[in-house]
Chain A
Amino acid sequence: MTTPLVVLATVAALVVAALGGLSTALRRRTGLAHLAAAGVLELVLLVQLVVVLVQLAGGVRPPETATFLAYLLSVVLVPVAGVLWSRTEPTRWAGTVLAVAALVVAVMVWRLLQLWEATGA
């Protein structure tokens, strides 16, 4: 678990959220730009998942392991859920739904880092 990866994920999430807000403002549904940005976000999250799993395998244990693992696994699913949901929404609010999902990711990665750093190592 490293801060640069969390920052990267946050930036990607904010880009997705901005694109979502933009398409709502322009009265559009979501398009290729949203898919690409959400894909980048998902990629960063997957890299983070692998990095953390390697560290966990190396014997590092955050104190609230159950909570940490729940966050770790569910944060990967949030962008997927957001994209699927926004694709089925025919109104301009599709982008806002995706933006909400992205903001949730941005909050969750920082909470993850907090849980990880409580390791006290």
Chain B
Amino acid sequence: MPDRLGAPAAGGDDAGTTARGPGRVLVAVYGTFALAAGARAAVQLATQFDEAPVAYLLSAFSAAVYLVATVGLARGGRSGRRTAVVACVVELVGVLVVGTLSLADRAAFPDATVWSVYGQGYGFVPLALPVLGLLWLRHLAELDREAAKGGPPPAGSAPPADPAPTG
């Protein structure tokens, strides 16, 4: 009967990886945005490139960034995470710069991009996503550092308590 809501979950739901656990949610959202932005850019570039080339090229660029972030998060590991950090930073800068420009100079953006007005057309998710991504990646890096200091991580046990703030 309780199985209707699913069998008990495997332990280690705070496992320090982007390939399992909460990191997977991030990968899912990033994947969705890579697809959405990519499809949108493809349609716009194919059918109406002349109308707003800047906006459509930006859409294509943001799609590429989301794709890189998705792959980096999905692969995990040291290099995957480094890739994801770079992509998240580019994304954050992109959404802030394009968001500001789209408000300041509407003429340059006759058609919306994913990043226009800080991602308003997408419920501001494009603004929140890189921040969440960077926070999660920082959390993973901290877990890594603790593991390096104190031997193997306590697999399957409760997540390690936050270290007391020092200095």
Q: Chain B residues with Cβ under 8 A from A119's Cβ?
A: none
- Selected from A28, A89, A100, the residue in CB contact (under 8 A) with B7 is A28
Chain B proximity of A99: nearest CB distance (Å) = 9
Confirm or deny: A67 has a beta carbon within 8 angstroms of a beta carbon on chain B. yes
Q: Chain A residues with Cβ under 8 A from B43's Cβ?
A: 64, 66-67, 70
Confirm or deny: B93 has a beta carbon within 8 angstroms of a beta carbon on chain A. no
- Selected from B5, B12, B21, B24, the residue in CB contact (under 8 A) with A26 is B5
Chain B residues with a Cβ closer than 8 Å to the other chain, count: 27
> Which residues of B (1-49) have their CB < 8 Å from a CB of A?
2-10, 12-13, 15, 20-22, 24-25, 28-29, 32, 35, 39-40, 43, 46-47
Chain B proximity of A8: nearest CB distance (Å) = 22
Contact with B along A59-77 (1 / 0, CB 8 A): 0000010110010001000
Chain B proximity of A91: nearest CB distance (Å) = 4
> Which residues of A (57-111) have their CB < 8 Å from a CB of B?
64, 66-67, 70, 74, 82, 85, 89-97, 100-101, 104, 107
Confirm or deny: A32 has a beta carbon within 8 angstroms of a beta carbon on chain B. yes
- Selected from B2, B25, B47, the residue in CB contact (under 8 A) with A96 is B25
> Which residues of A (14-62) have their CB < 8 Å from a CB of B?
19, 22-23, 26-34
- B4 close to A89 (CB less than 8 A): no
A29–B32 CA distance with the chains assembled, in angstroms = 22
For B4, B9, B25, the residue with the greatest tally of chain A CB atoms inside 10 Å of its CB is B9
- B47 close to A90 (CB less than 8 A): no
Chain A proximity of B73: nearest CB distance (Å) = 13
Closest A residue to B3 using CB positions:
A31
- A29 close to B7 (CB less than 8 A): yes
Main secondary structure of the interface of A (DSSP, over half): helix
Q: Chain B residues with Cβ under 8 A from A27's Cβ?
A: 8-9, 13
- B6 close to A91 (CB less than 8 A): no
- B3 close to A32 (CB less than 8 A): yes
- A91 close to B32 (CB less than 8 A): no
Chain A proximity of B25: nearest CB distance (Å) = 5
- A31 close to B25 (CB less than 8 A): no
Question: In the complex where A91-B15, A91-B20, A93-B22 touch, is A101 in contact with B28 (Cβ < 8 A)?
Answer: yes
Task: Offer 6 A-B interface pairs, CB within 8 angstroms, sorted by A.
Answer: A26-B6, A27-B13, A32-B4, A91-B24, A94-B9, A100-B32
Binding site for B on A (CB under 8 A): 19, 22-23, 26-34, 64, 66-67, 70, 74, 82, 85, 89-97, 100-101, 104, 107
Known: A28-B2, A89-B20, A91-B12. 12 other contacts (CB 8 A): A31-B7, A34-B6, A64-B43, A66-B46, A70-B39, A74-B39, A82-B28, A85-B24, A90-B20, A91-B9, A97-B25, A100-B32
